[in-house]
Amino acid sequence: GQSLEQPSEVTAVEGAIVQINCTYQTSGFYGLSWYQQHDGGAPTFLSYNGLDGLEETGRFSSFLSRSDSYGYLLLQELQMKDSASYFCAPEGGSYIPTFGRGTSLIVHP
């Protein structure tokens, strides 16, 4: 079977750090991707973790623990433009990106 859990909403203030958690159950797991989607827009790829550990890309970092079926996206120095929905997308044996309901991040001034 397959399941995916993320918080539905996270709020934070500008300049803060926020962590969005993701737990998953996926057959033939290969890795975990993260996507960002602004209201009315297309999702865009942020990062991919194929191995355990932390991947850093500018203000964004993503972490994976295969043994715990868990990952997170860390956003630092939050900006208003970071207000968006964030989706974790585990990749299984079929290589098809699978998305859950996503996490709505609201950044306040």
Interaction with other proteins in 26-85: which residues (CB under 8 A)? 30-31, 33, 35, 40-45, 48, 50
**Pairing outcome for strands 53-57 and 44-49:** unpaired
Q: Which is nearer to other proteins, 14 or 56 (CB)?
A: 56
By the 10 Å C-beta count (0-12 exposed, 13-18 middle, 19+ buried), 28 is classed as: exposed
* 3-state SS class at 41: coil
Q: Which is nearer to other proteins, 18 or 46 (CB)?
A: 46
CA–CA distance, 22 with 41 (Å, rounded to integer): 22
Q: Which is nearer to other proteins, 15 or 93 (CB)?
A: 93
Q: How far is CA 1 from CA 14, 70, 93, 101, 107, in A?
A: 39, 16, 12, 17, 34
* Residue 93 binding other proteins, by CB under 8 A: no
* Residue 96 binding other proteins, by CB under 8 A: yes
Report the nearest approach of other proteins to the CB of residue 15 (Å): 27
Q: Using CB under 8 A as the criterion, which residues of the chain lie in contact with other proteins when the complex forms? A: 30-31, 33, 35, 40-45, 48, 50, 87, 89, 91, 95-102, 104
